[in-house]
Amino acid sequence: MTYTEIQEKNGKKYYYRVKSIKLNKKVIKKRVYMGVNLPFEEINKKEKNADNELGLLSVILNKEDLKTIEEIKKDFLKEPPENYENRYEVFCSLFTYDSTGIEGNTLTLDETSFLLFQGIVPKQKSLREINEVLNHKKAFDFILNYKGDITKEFILELHKMVTENTLKQELISQIGKYRTVQVYVGSSLPPNPSVVPERMTSLLKWYSNNKNRLNPLVLASYFHAEFEKIHPFVDGNGRTGRLLMNFILYKNRLPMINIPKKKKFRYYKVLKEAQYKNNLLPFMKFLIKLLKEERLRF
């Protein structure tokens, strides 16, 4: 149960968001300070921010899930360097095929692999689709070789790589920049462009505050869900977001996750539940299942 607690001291009202959590038959309370003498119109916004911080992120995974992730990590770290290049080519092809395919690209897996690693351009495919595939590999290679951490500049550069030579003429000015126009995603309405920079700054601050506190899979899952909810770009949000999620995993020595396009509707469903019902667990279970089923670890 989550509720707002008000404590009065010296004539001032101090607001806390409180969550009761049952752990091992005991109930513990976690608190997040929201502010003092908050005006009514700010309370709801502060509550949402506090709920994100409280959530259940630090305790969302049970012992079995944590054990599974640790076993996957141990197995992954045992992968021999001798087959690195082979694993790289196969995963890069799969990841590019599925991530671009989720967004509507029609190249087959073979066409994707031949294009990326043999330079064979498929017939009867648009230049945009071909560039989407080539761009994705370029961005994938970029995150593999990048030694820094997630910053605004890193995200913008990644987006530039993903969308270069793929957008309509009127959208070219939006490449590598937070969007300045409203976008629409199915039945969801992403934030107004005027608040995108602020939302992204808050997400990056959250990442910085939690990158050494949360399990890497929790960190990557929450970051991905919030990034896609903000939808900071006019196009390429899904591809950029999945690259960022895998960058976080790779940086923390966990195998990357490929979301098959044949499971995109399940992916959309659990992602939406994380975004709009404050329930990250189904999305995390979805990712853990993919990790367990995946024979190729990269």
- Active site (catalytic) residues: 231
**Long-range contacts of 211-217, Cβ-Cβ distance < 8 Å, separation of 24 or more:** 211/149, 213/58, 214/57, 214/58, 215/61, 215/66, 215/69, 216/248, 216/249, 216/251, 216/252, 216/254, 217/61, 217/69, 217/249, 217/254, 217/284, 217/287, 217/288
Residue 110 identity (one-letter amino acid): D
Instruction: Give 2's strand partners.
Output: 19
Distance of CA 87 to the CA centre of its chain: 23
Q: Of the candidates 169, 189, 191, 188, which has an alpha carbon nearest to the alpha carbon of residue 180?
A: 191
For the beta carbon of residue 84, count every other beta carbon within 10 angstroms.
Answer: 11
Spatial distance between the Cα atoms of 146 and 236, rounded to a whole number of angstroms: 20
- Decide if 96 contacts 68 (C-beta within 8 A): no
Contact between 241 and 222 (Cβ < 8 Å):
no
Tokens linked to 249: 């995993």
Question: How crowded is residue 277: how many other Cβ atoms within 10 Å of its Cβ?
Answer: 9
Q: Residue 298, Cα to own-chain centre: how many angstroms? A: 18
